[in-house]
Amino acid sequence: MASTRKLRILCIHGYRQNAHTFKDKTGAFRKLLKNHAEIVYITAPHKVPPGNLGSAAWTGQPVSDNPPDEKAEERGWWFSREDDYFKSTEYSDVSKGFQTSVDQIVEFLEDSKDGNFDGILGFSQGACLVSMLCRMQQNGQKNWFKFAVLIAGFKSRSSNHEIYYPKDVCIPIPTLHVYGDGDQIVSAEMSEELLQYFEDPKCLTHPGGHFVPASGSQKKTYLEFFTEMVDVCGISSAVKS
């Protein structure tokens, strides 16, 4: 019998963000899904050194010389250089800190108290990480989540991550790929490159830049996808209203 509850989604923030800042930035998105989903945020384990900016976190992000407080502390899931620097377009043989981040997320997904997620959502570097977690789940025959949302996602440029992008076997779980035609940090072409690794990916494009869109023009696609995921996850139709 289907249960009556909301979808439970784990959110993976982007580079130079953390759980607090990403939650603040996604207020409109959370409001849009308030009747459909419980959204949980997690912070990356690695601090981004001050002044070592690399990829920007968000369209229009101001640069400040002031040290951030704990809630604004910039974090990353891995670095593409040994000096703790990351850029989404940079090809590299380095993925410093990657396994630590994977271990943290997997432990969270499998925890009997904090786990039991229906879906996972990633933004930018977080979406790139989600693409690899989807492959890890498939390869390991795990059941961490049943769907994924990748916003401003891209294929990792680290040579260490090539194993997660074989072209002969597509990842079968339902995915929604969201990206902006005006994104100057992760181009639409980079996000589209990721589509080939998923079976029947759904797409939502918007004219804006590097952020999570949540305006009226995107609402219909979001709600259609998440309503479908309610059925995929075996949840009662009571949460669809």
Q: Which residues are catalytic?
A: 124, 183, 210
Residue 42, number of CB atoms within 10 A of its CB? 19
Q: How many residues does the chain have?
A: 241
Radius of gyration of the chain from its Cα atoms, rounded to whole angstroms: 17
DSSP state of 115: -
**Closest CA relative to residue 235, chosen from 151, 140, 106, 116:** 116
Coil, helix or strand for 204?
strand
**Closest CA relative to residue 151, chosen from 19, 5, 2, 14:** 14
The values of phi and psi at residue 39, to 5°, are: -110, 125
